[in-house]
Structure 1
Amino acid sequence: MMLLFAIIAGFILDLLIGDPRWLPHPICLIGNLISFLEKLLRSIVGKSSRGLLVGGAVLVILVLTFSFCIPFLLLAWAEKINPWLSFALETFMCYQIFATRCLREESMKVYTALRNNDLTDARMKLSWIVGRDTKELTKSEVTKGAVETVAENTADGIIAPMLYMFIGGAPLAFLYKGINTMDSMVGYKNDKYLYFGRCAAKLDDFANYIPARVAGLCMIVAAYLLSLDAKKAWKIFKRDRYNHLSPNSAMTESVTAGALHIQLGGGHFYFGKWVPKDTIGDDIRQVEPEDIVQTNNLMYMTAVLSILVFALIYLLELFIKS
């Protein structure tokens, strides 16, 4: 029961205060670890495809070990001192794992720049939250980028870590964030990471498989609760949920596209290279900055709905065991 309270308290703290810039963030520490290990392993394994595959696999093992063991040992140490200290520490860990408010704030910076007709600033703000090249994007493309980022990260930035929290507490959620951070840093299909990042990318696909689908279904219900077009969201989800290079990313993007009557997806430049992608949704109307606001509302409702559903399942499981 203490885990349930820790998750809910962490979720509420994230909604209230987000991620203060002065506070060291564990995901940044994981990112620094990945950068350090990548340089070290590349210097050891060389440039052969086999060596890079082995180096990438070793990176995954080391990052997952650190990501899980450090919070696990800290919580075990706190539990020995006082159960309430362990509860407070796990609450703080859960709070740092969630990214709901941060995702909204960063995407709304893009929205504000677009509303001020400052496309240069909007492109720059978008570059902070996406991996694609943004310097030549049109206003519509910038808007789509922000909408897609919020929609996709609803799954892997909120619902996925939340689900893993309910299964294995903060340590398992940090393990997931280690996987997700590796994928965002080395999981690219370009010349540099095709072999070195393959293990991380495949593991991220596996770790997000169930959470992405849960997030998509919860988002359809959230669309209904927000009086958006839930019927269209369900239709596009069924039709376009695999219209992405990732097997998981289009789950929530397709729901968003359907609920808002817009078309997402399509090809983009990544590191100067054009990457073709299928479109998601029907081109019923032109995307507009207000769609960023609507997508954030959809993200918030999906997050609240998901934590309520997970909490009920958790309590039901406790009741059955008792």
Structure 2
Amino acid sequence: MKIVIMVALAFGLDLLLGDPHSWPHPIKAIGHLIAWLTKKFNQPAFSTSRRKQLGVLTWLITVGGAGLIIAGIMWLAAINDYLYMAVGTYLCYTCLSARQLAIEAEKIMKSLQNNDLQMARHQVGMIVGRDTDSLSAEEVTKAAIETVAENTSDGVIAPLFYLVIGGPVLGMMYKAINTLDSMIGYRNEKYRAFGEFSAKVDDIANYLPARITWLLLIISSWLLHDDTKEAIAVGERDCEKHLSPNSAFSEAVVAGALHLQLGGPHYYFGQLVRKPYIGNDHLVIAANWHLKRTITMLYMSSVIGLITFELIRLLVIVWE
């Protein structure tokens, strides 16, 4: 029951506060650790096999360390029930990013409304991995839509899924897995060997949450009176049209519901990466309202996901 309360309060805090940059945040510490380990272990002079081994070691240190530290913190906090709940709620809150994701997308919307394309490029570059210096206004909008759609799973539904199962310990371990993938899980020359293990484990960790998100977004499209029929059709057809086995599930539903074509080739670190298109080739220009609608779908699916996961856990508690 404590986990149910923690996660519900954490979700409310996330919607209310987002992620203030000045606040202490475990994910920032995890990011700093990964950056330090990457600098130490991912040396060009090392052989491919050696870099793979050190990539596994980096994963073990980061994910194992996150789990052990959070477990230790929760053990120490258990001296008092109120302290335990407060600490657990805060740690769960730091695993969620629905509000902050929406905030970053809203900044991009505002810059585009003010015809400040340069600022919009910079802002979208803060939340995507691709090169953004030469993107058009529509390409900036699509990049933001894709990121909000994909992170509906990675940033909200998946953390909720693991938090409800295992509280702050499992939630933080998932965030460590996801952060590793976002920092070193690239398929370019620099990271291919070193980040291979992290990328594969992230695919496994997100396999079920991505498919749950697919369903939640379809339900959201129906509740919001978008084109649910198209969301289902495109969602079924294009859900695997991505280099990642999970990323296209949420993007495909959003593309169908909003009559957009997403995906396609993009530049990463100056290299062209050819990706398949997601969605039908509608003559629809991606605009701010599409991004706003995607944010609404993010919130709607997140609330439905929270209620569903919490009810399932409560039913398990009652059954036991």
Normalised-by-shorter TM-score class:
over 0.9
Number of aligned positions between the proteins = 319
CA distance in 2 between counterparts of 1:226 and 1:201 reads: 34
TM-score of the superposition, structure 2-length normalised? 0.98
Match in the other structure for 1:200: 198
Match in the other structure for 1:169: 167
CA distance in 1 between counterparts of 2:187 and 2:248 reads: 18
Contact 1:46–1:52 (8 Å) recurs in 2: no
CA distance in 1 between counterparts of 2:21 and 2:163 reads: 24
TM-score of the superposition, structure 1-length normalised? 0.97
SS in structure 2 opposite 1:37?
helix
Measure how far apart 1:42 and its partner are.
3.3
Match in the other structure for 2:72: 73
CA distance in 2 between counterparts of 1:276 and 1:240 reads: 16
The Cα offsets for residues 191-239 of structure 1, whole Å up to 9 and x where unpaired, read as 0011000000001001000000001111100111111111111111100
Match for 2:48: what amino acid?
S
Measure how far apart 1:22 and its partner are.
1.5
What RMSD, in angstroms, separates the aligned Cα atoms of the two structures? 1.0
Match in the other structure for 1:292: 291
Contact 1:93–1:170 (8 Å) recurs in 2: yes
CA distance in 1 between counterparts of 2:288 and 2:208 reads: 31
1:151 aligns with one of 149, 153, 156: 149
Match in the other structure for 2:278: 280
Match in the other structure for 1:82: 80
The Cα offsets for residues 58-106 of structure 1, whole Å up to 9 and x where unpaired, read as 0011001111111111001111x11221111110111111101000000
Q: Does 1:32 align with 2:23?
A: no
Task: State, as a whole percentage, how many aligned pairs show the same letter.
Answer: 44
The Cα offsets for residues 125-181 of structure 1, whole Å up to 9 and x where unpaired, read as 111110100011111110000000000000000000100001111110100000100
Q: Does 1:9 align with 2:5?
A: no
5 Å-filtered alignment, 1:188-267, equals 188-267=186-265
CA distance in 2 between counterparts of 1:55 and 1:2 reads: 38
Match in the other structure for 1:63: 62
Match for 1:13: what amino acid?
L
Measure how far apart 1:46 and its partner are.
4.4
SS in structure 2 opposite 1:269?
strand
Unaligned runs of 5+ in 2: none
Q: Does 1:51 align with 2:45?
A: no
Match in the other structure for 1:302: 301
SS in structure 1 opposite 2:226?
coil
SS in structure 2 opposite 1:21?
coil
